[in-house]
Structure 1
Amino acid sequence: MSPTVLSDADLAVTQLGARRRASVTVGEAADAYAATLIGDYLAARADDDREQMQLIRDHAFAADPELLAELDGLHYPAAV
């Protein structure tokens, strides 16, 4: 489970949590989620866990089809 989710759950009932929710934009939350998916995907790929990789790809497609293209791009070496 994402540490962000746990932190949000812990802070949700506090004044700090209320301020955080009020200050975080939808775009920032989406970017954080995408970053988490990419990190999880890289970890699954490093472990050669193809089942986990496919689950993450399914979630990425449901969240944003363009994110799936980002994950596909991770398989190609960077141009020099």
Structure 2
Amino acid sequence: MSPFLFDADLATITDLAARRRERTTVIDAMADHAASVIADYAAARAAGQTDLAALIRDHAEAIDPQLVAELDGFDYPAAA
């Protein structure tokens, strides 16, 4: 679940969401979003959903070209 949707739900009940938004920097929010894009891409690839992976890649290209480079290197083995 998106942390932003979770916060929106909590905002009607508690002040937890408001406090979280006060402490979250733009850099933190961008990093969280990039991590969720990478996780969604990994899940789509693992499930064999190449059409969904392509849509996620298009979204990544729109928000950050460096993120596309990270997705391009997704299949490369890690250096030991």
1:78 partner SS: coil
Partner of 2:56: 56
Partner of 2:40: 40
Unmatched tracts of structure 2, length 5 or more: none
TM-score (norm 2): 0.89
TM-score (norm 1): 0.89
Letter in 1 for 2:6: S
| Number of aligned residues | 79
Unmatched tracts of structure 1, length 5 or more: none
Letter in 2 for 1:4: P
Partner Cα separation in structure 2 for residue 29 and residue 55 of structure 1: 21
Work out which structure has the larger RCO, using CA pairs closer than 8 Å and 6 or more positions apart in sequence.
1
Partner of 2:7: 8
Cα shift at 1:78 = 1.1
Letter in 2 for 1:18: A
Partner Cα separation in structure 2 for residue 26 and residue 77 of structure 1: 31
Q: Percent identity?
A: 54
Partner Cα separation in structure 1 for residue 50 and residue 15 of structure 2: 42
Partner of 2:66: 66
RMSD between aligned residues:
1.3
- CA-to-partner distance for each residue in 1:2-51, whole Å, 9 max, x for gaps? 33232121123442211111110000000000000000000000011111
Query: Structure 1 segments of 4 or more deviating over 3 A?
Result: none
